[in-house]
Amino acid sequence: MTPVHATFGEVAAERRIASVPLSHVSVELGHLYMEDYEAGPDRLREQFRRVAPWLATVRSLWQERVPGGRARVSTCFLVDDYFSRFSTPAELVPMVLEAAAEHDLTIDYLARESACAQSGGVELARLVEDRLVDDPPPETDGSRPPVKETGWLCNGSRSPRTAPLQAMGKARPWEPPAQNAKRGHSIFVDVELWDEKGPRRTWSCPFLAAVWQLLRLGLLRSDGRVPLPPVALDGGWPRDWDELPAVVRLNPQAAPFSAYTTLSVLSPRFLPVELAVRTILSQFAVDDEVLRQVATRSEGEGIRLEEELVDRISYVFV
């Protein structure tokens, strides 16, 4: 008898990672907080007026870069329903869409900020927190667990405590913190990821913004599945934010929500927030398999992506 080649498989023993459709670039047209809402529709119109030329620019840049000029560009808009609740989707969304249309902008996807914390049984924020790998200061050899200040993340070594440990001890003179990858001098950044009052954890704005970037880059998976895929809305806008899907597809012809790269057009007042976001994302470990999927796909269409996650994110501060 000839030898029989047997194969045996077990589904629970394999790791299956879903892939996600990807555009070339995801452009965030705006991020609406309560203060913007309170400032009235003129603030929104002003935002869209400033964004419009940059969207046109990024579109033409990608059209030049992609063979055949078929650039896939999707646009999105984020509403803060996490730090403060204001208005209702039924009232707010039509107003936003109208203001965008005045500047010939189409918002393809609308997302809720609270979804970056938790939505549909998926705690995206926890998922991202678990994948943070602390930037090790020199002489970190694995012998001790990483030095952590619970709920904080920094890009180097903090200043040693200056208060004396014992009443009799002498106070140590101040020593500076240090950035790990400094070039000559340090720019030390320490970011608060969350705080807790009683049992409730509140994620910080930069942390949720980091989750938002990862969602737009299609780099998150929950149990191997793509979390919060965009949903088209049947019927009208609900009266409660909780009834609104995490990510709503507004334009049926839209290019995919997630993309190889992202561009956010923001007011310079968000600069510190985005520095914090980059500090967090520099310490986020994307799943190996997901990294490979995206690399294979982009190379398949002749696009070389930046290796490092933070280099796939760009901004226009206007």
Partner 1 sequence: MLVMGEVHTGLLQNSGEISESTCRQVLGLMAGETVRVSRRPIVHALSPERLTGVDCALPTASRSRVRGVGTVVSRCAVTGGRVAQGSSYARVVRSEADRRLPWSHYLARPGVVEVLGKVKAADLAEGFTGDTVPGRPDGACLDLGAVSGRFLDLVQQSPLLDRRAPFKIPRTNLRWVAETGEPSIRFTLHAEQERTLRLTHPGPFTPAVVDLCEDLATHDWLLTSLLVIVERARIGGTPGAQAVARLAPAIDHLMHLWMPAARVEEWMTPFWESLERRPGFTRQWRSLVDRVRDQVAMNTLALLSATAEAGRRSP
Which positions lie near partner 1, rule CB under 8 A? 8, 10, 12-15, 122-123, 126-127, 129-131, 133-146, 155, 180-181, 220-224, 227, 281-286, 288, 291, 307-311
61/295 with CB nearer partner 1: 295
Provide, rounded to whole angstroms, the least separation between the CB of residue 156 and partner 1: 10
**CA-to-CA distance for 115 and 81, rounded, in angstroms?**
9
**DSSP per-residue letters across 274-305:** HHHHHHHHTTB---HHHHHHHHHHHHHTT-PP
Output 32 or 153, the one with its CB closest to partner 1: 153
Question: 23 or 282: whose CB is closer to partner 1?
Answer: 282
Minimum distance of partner 1 from residue 262's CB (angstroms):
15
Q: Which residues contact 213 (CB under 8 A, 6 or more apart)?
A: 262, 277, 281, 313
CB of 138: closest distance to partner 1 in angstroms?
Answer: 5
Q: Shortest approach of partner 1 to residue 13 CB, angstroms?
A: 4
**Residue 187 vs 318, nearer CB to partner 1:** 187
- Return the CA Rg of the chain: 22
Q: Report the DSSP pairing between strands 247-249 and 231-232.
A: parallel
Judged by beta carbon, residue 90 or residue 286, the one nearer partner 1 is 286
Minimum separation from the CB atom of position 83 to partner 1 (A): 22
Q: In the complex, what is the shortest distance from the CB of residue 76 to partner 1, in angstroms, rounded to a whole number?
A: 22
**265 near 53, Cβ under 8 Å?**
no
Strand pairing category for 178-179 and 156-157: antiparallel
- Could you tell me the two tokens for 176? 């500076």
Count of CB atoms situated within 10 Å of the CB of 240 = 11
Report, in Å, the least distance between residue 268 CB and partner 1: 23
- State which H helix or E strand residue 205 sits in: helix 205-216
Nearest to 214 by CA among 41, 82, 26, 48: 26
* CB atoms inside a 10 Å sphere around CB 264: 26
In degrees and rounded to multiples of 5, residue 89 shows phi and psi of -55, -40
Of 73 and 211, which CB lies nearer to partner 1 in the complex structure?
A: 211
In the complex with partner 1, which residue's Cβ is closer, 179 or 267? 179
CA distance 154 to 157: 8
